[in-house]
Structure 1
Amino acid sequence: MKMTCVDHLRCVVCGATYAPETRLMCELCGADGILDVVYDYDKARRSLEQSPLAGRASQTLWRYRELLPVDASSARIPDLSVGCTPLTPAPRLARYLGLDSLLIKDDGRNPTGSLKDRASALAVALACAEGKDVIACSSTGNAASSLAGMAASMGMRSVIFVPKDTPEPKLTQLLAFGATVLRVQGSYYDAFQLCQSACAISGWYNRNCAINPWLVEGKKTVALEICEQLDWKVPDWVAVSVGDGCTIAGIWKGFREFKLLGLIDRTPRMLGVQASGADAVLQAFRTGSLPPDRPENTVADSIKVGVPRNWRKALQAIHESGGTMISVDDSEILEAIGYTGSLSGIFAEPAASTSVAGLRKAVAEGYVDSDASVVTVITGNGLKDTRSARLAVGQPHDVSPDGRELKDLLAGHGYRG
């Protein structure tokens, strides 16, 4: 497998280094030994000087080949267009949140409707390079549907382990993509453990981003795109919802690497937002270690993680960036679906609206100044979980065919004429 500028893998716990191969965990630290991908940044810099980003035709994540573990020019990659999602001004939402300005990075516009497509695109390319024809993951929904869609586009088989309370729209998407869906009658932790065992026994490619270091590299392209889209003017803050910790870790890594390469002169502060019913990473941020009691109780299924595997990388992102973490409860998350949609025109699923709700709280509590430049990342489309959205936005108004109630009803909502 040809890797353009990858130099080595490094354990985030003990610092041990390994050759860039298909290894997933540190052999010294076991399950705690999450690895990080380290690049030859001098080589990457020379390549970018010879072929500047501005001259590249590709409008997908593959345009950042120097900072990805797959050489898209020689590897088999999905035909689906992943990445380069819109960065949209949201002035009305900004005012509601107490900000002068706000930009929304809408990753709900990816092929299967979530940011997870960035990791899954890498996963299927890596699996194909290793000669694997079956790829598996455990997921609360988005990683699952993302993997299933990417695998289908490559003619590969996918086996998906989901917890029992996975939303129906996400299950339907999985089945539409032809995945073998195994609904585990337990929590996400139970689904994850079963998937790990099945991959080990069957030799399937393991797409679980929590332990597969290569896949976080896809997520960092969110940051790389933000830098380009803002003409290299980095925002003061980037708000991201947090479950396992992979996404915020990946996005921070993208900013850090672009600064290392000299493409930006500073990095943003990261605001990590968790649901209060699944806030193990926030508790680790406050105490330095994961709590013994790790609840999984939130409407935001995509970040409902009681045993986060990438919490160390997430905290590294917060500390290195000078950022902070905050939590919001389910009522705040659901409310944010409504005002995000009505004030920006962007439909966010609960895990995605969590970042907006957290940003509102962070402004109110003085963590984020009103005049700060801010980007919030919408990680998934609201159509992923319409049942939760209906809890947030209410019911339609029933009217008779002759419209006799119409005048009074509209007047009650401020319409005239």
Structure 2
Amino acid sequence: MTPKPVADAEGMDHLRWQCSRCAAFSPVGDLRYACTRCRWSGRLTLVIDYERVGAGRPPADVLLTDEHSLWRYARLLPVGMDGGGSRRVRSRYVAGWTPLHRADRLARRLGLGRLWIKDEAANPSGALKDRASVVAVADALDRGRNVIATASSGNAGAALAGAAAAVGLRCVVFVPRGTPATKVTQISRYGARVLVVDGDYDDAVRLSTAACRRWGWYCRNTAYNPCTAEGKKTAALEIVEQLGWSAPDAVVVPVGDGNILVGLYRGLCDALAMGWIDRMPRLIGVQAAASPAVHRAWAEGAADVSPAPARTRAESINVGEPQDGFRALAAVRDTAGLVVAVEDEEIFAAVDWLAAESGVYPEPASAAGAAALPALVARGELGSADRVVLLNTGSGLKAAPSAEGGSAVPVAADLRAVAAIGITEAAETGSEADLDEPEPKW
């Protein structure tokens, strides 16, 4: 269902949502998740009147410099700083402003001019997904929602559960069969209700979206909720600020749904439009060869992504139907970047050598970016003159053997199974007929 408009969107009339496919506009206060004009297939992108924000002025005139969190860039976000939601979440669950480590030893080994690692494991739940979740939680609070839900292979669910716990929102997380027990334990320890869907990540996405529509829950699903990319873009704004308001030559990003890649692109576009950087870095997306939907589309020169088998053991990027593939491909092309694929054996080897030579311990999905570096240098895509940022999206501790404890409920990939668990008593809207309603084609 469509969330109700924000009660007070004052101060946000310089922002609009625009469909990535049909280019239709909608007010930022009337978040509709995906575009309804093109049958839910278009993702919404935030359009900013940069002149009104302060384009051309020094960053210190625009940023909230006392905020050492992602809210430093609040004037470029779709959630008003004066709203109760942002006030509550930014004081109770501090995400962002993560370190940018120099990795000189690794740069020399690889033959790069300079290498930095943006370490998103320093976020509260240990992953970049905290950025998306805090913005979504703030928006949910402003819209008066009391239940928030998402599909997740682990990291997004943990980030959402932590942020929701901090502000007192009820949280439901749908995870696919085979999600690491460590991640299920973390989510459930935050007090979220964890539903283990009898299916893969794409099944969890479909079921969670249907449940949100049926029971009126706020839906945080990656890409489907445009706040997710907007939260993630703050990582790019931090990178260029931490580099002294200069752009690196390339940013290397692991890719599953494609939403992190899109978020970084949005942040770099903001920095360029504001006059804070003078050029765009190349965005290099890295997928597992065993889960290659975006890479396959790139190699074929396609404008959009078609489903592909997803069998990588790097579960955070094990996505068969990427939710933000269309925009991810466009971001790579617009920055003269590329998409590459690496084998699982390369990914798991990179976990070890990246940790041993940089001091940053990545989870396997995050190590995919590092795994691509030797081949990128060998092919001449990167070299001794290049300044490169590698994104570490999550802590390696998240892939460690499970701690005991936690609770999760197995559930068939069907709304009736969710209803039977008894967690839907706070339903705001919907009817039994919705249980059989076809899913929107997004």
Q: Secondary structure at the match of 2:376?
A: helix
Cα–Cα, structure 1 residues 230 and 50, in superposed 2: closer, same or farther, change >3 Å?
closer
Conserved? CA contact 1:7–1:39, under 8 Å: yes
Matched, 1:316 2:330: yes
Cα–Cα, structure 1 residues 84 and 200, in superposed 2: closer, same or farther, change >3 Å?
same
Q: How far did 1:76 drift?
A: 2.5
Larger Rg: 1
Code of the aligned partner of 2:377: V
Conserved? CA contact 2:310–2:318, under 8 Å: yes
Conserved? CA contact 2:297–2:303, under 8 Å: yes
Matched, 1:17 2:31: no
CA distance in 2, matches of 1:65, 1:48: 16
Q: How does 1:213-362 map to 2 (within 5 A)?
A: 213-287=226-300, 288-289=302-303, 294-362=308-376
Q: How far did 1:49 drift?
A: 5.6
Q: How far did 1:212 drift?
A: 0.9
1:40 to 33, 49, 54: 49
Q: How far did 1:273 drift?
A: 0.4
CA distance in 1, matches of 2:381, 2:144: 48
Match of 1:379 in 2: 393
Identity %: 42
Q: Secondary structure at the match of 2:114?
A: coil
Cα–Cα, structure 1 residues 167 and 15, in superposed 2: closer, same or farther, change >3 Å?
same
Conserved? CA contact 1:82–1:110, under 8 Å: yes
Q: How far did 1:210 drift?
A: 2.2
Q: Secondary structure at the match of 1:208?
A: coil
Conserved? CA contact 1:53–1:63, under 8 Å: no
Match of 2:85 in 1: 76
In the alignment of these two chains, the number of paired residues is 388
Code of the aligned partner of 1:16: A
Cα–Cα, structure 1 residues 293 and 196, in superposed 2: closer, same or farther, change >3 Å?
closer
CA distance in 1, matches of 2:387, 2:62: 24
Q: How far did 1:75 drift?
A: 2.9
CA distance in 2, matches of 1:232, 1:73: 27
TM-score, with structure 1 as normaliser: 0.89
CA distance in 1, matches of 2:266, 2:59: 23
Q: Secondary structure at the match of 2:267?
A: helix
Match of 1:394 in 2: none
Conserved? CA contact 1:108–1:115, under 8 Å: yes
Q: Secondary structure at the match of 1:256?
A: helix
Conserved? CA contact 1:89–1:102, under 8 Å: yes
- Pairwise CA RMSD: 1.8
Conserved? CA contact 1:5–1:67, under 8 Å: no
CA distance in 2, matches of 1:5, 1:95: 48
Conserved? CA contact 2:64–2:72, under 8 Å: no
Give unpaired runs (5+ residues) of structure 1. Answer: 389-417
CA distance in 2, matches of 1:313, 1:141: 23
Name the structure, 1 or 2, with higher relative contact order (CA <8 Å, separation 6+).
2
Q: How far did 1:72 drift?
A: 2.4
Match of 1:391 in 2: none
Code of the aligned partner of 2:69: T
CA distance in 2, matches of 1:59, 1:5: 26
CA distance in 1, matches of 2:306, 2:122: 37
Q: How far did 1:55 drift?
A: 6.9
